[in-house]
Amino acid sequence: MTESPQAHRKDEHLSLGVSLWRDTTPKKQIGASFDDIRWLPNTFPEMSIEDVDVTTNLFQHQFNWPFYIEAMTGGSALTGRVNGQLATVSANTGLAMAVGSQSIALKEPSQATTFKIVRQRNPEGFIFANLGADHPIANVRDAIDMIDANAIEMHVNVAQELVMAEGDRQFKWLDNLAEVIAKSPVPVIIKEVGFGMSVATYQTIAQLHPAAINVGGANGTNFAVIERRRNRNDDSFNIDNYGLSTVESLISAQLAQNALPLIATGGIQNANHIVTSLMLGANLASSAGFMLQTLMDHGELDLTKQILDWQQALPRLFTLLGAKNIAELQQNQPLYSNSLQNFISQQKKRS
Ligand SMILES: Cc1cc2nc3c(=O)[nH]c(=O)nc-3n(C[C@H](O)[C@H](O)[C@H](O)COP(=O)(O)O)c2cc1C
């Protein structure tokens, strides 16, 4: 069956996203990375690993693990199969999972099965629906119903759209988001897709009162690069180095005195990154490109093993730092590199 241009785009995002992560040449880092943060050693934890509780409460739900598989796929035959595999892995490891944008399934109802498979394979799991910030409440309800979602991510992706040759050029989202947040039957998360959030953005989002913010920072999947590659590396519009990293976005939330729950996404590729994100104020973390590349290159079993490794590492890392739970972990004050310190002092001068 020939698929629509939108379905073809899903396949291109998948293959380019995977090859970006597969690329072993060191990627240029945007701003401060996880390596700019060091943990202080705790010589006397005075606890045992059995005392550790890594669960996190959000949306009146207890998540067994403080990380999940982030939004990527669905909308074509290939990405539907990938959604099914990710859902099987999430069910077997007790992780929550987000589906990719369901916009295509609202336009092409035959593609709904490529999302519904996630609920079929993980009937008890916590599943996030996903749509762009311009979708009205009627679409939001349809997307939630399609997969019996527990929450919905509304993605904000100005930078991606502007690089995309066929992307949107008009971005008037705030009134719509306010209506969606007021009327959605499930919690609404406002989610960036890898360009991060500044102090001013958090202050704007605070007025909307969403259930949570996904900071979606740089240094993981880079949609400026992916969209340029889709466009034969067109260099006439190049924002490859644009954005704030996940670390900088989390610190910006602190500087903005953000009181909303935070989800850390962008470049998370080991348990240490999850711990650092929690320490910087996140309630949950999530990983997209790294999980996808592991699945596509090594298969379901290896992705399952990777996740089990993270799940085993977390209580050990909490013990290392003398933290019985996330609240205690957040008492730790990490050390910042000079460049991160510089970022913070420039931000403080402005706020
Ligand atoms: C192939 C692919 C497709 C994606 N599609 C979506 C999407 O449909 N909706 C969305 O909100 N984010 C989407 N994302 C962005 C991720 O959810 C995440 O915010 C971003 O990749 C940064 O996380 P990472 O560095 O762990 O990949 C996609 C990412 C990838 C790799």
* Nearest CA owner, ligand 1 atom 22: 266
CA 171 from centre of chain:
21
- Sorted by sequence, the CB contacts under 8 Å of residue 252 that are 6+ apart come out as 196, 197, 198, 199, 201, 202, 244, 347
Q: Which CATH architecture has domain 48-350?
A: Alpha-Beta Barrel (3.20)
* Nearest CA owner, ligand 1 atom 21: 221
Of the candidate ranges 57-71, 175-189, 227-241, 317-331, the one whose mean pLDDT is the lowest: 227-241
What would the pLDDT profile of 234-264 be if each residue is shown by its tens digit?
Answer: 899 999 999 999 999 999 999 999 999 999 9
Q: Best substitution site from 13, 158, 193, 244 to test ligand 1's pocket, by max atoms within 8 Å of Cβ? A: 193
What would the pLDDT profile of 263-292 be if each residue is shown by its tens digit?
Answer: 999 999 999 999 999 999 999 999 999 999
In this prediction, what percent of the chain has a pLDDT beyond 70?
99
CA of 36 to the centre of ligand 1 (A): 24
Give the number of other CB atoms < 10 A from CB of residue 237.
Answer: 13
Tell me which residue has tokens 């259930």.
Answer: 211
Average pLDDT score over residue span 218-232: 94
What six digits make up the tokens of 121?
Answer: 């394979």
pLDDT of residue 2: 79
Domain boundaries, the chain: 48-350
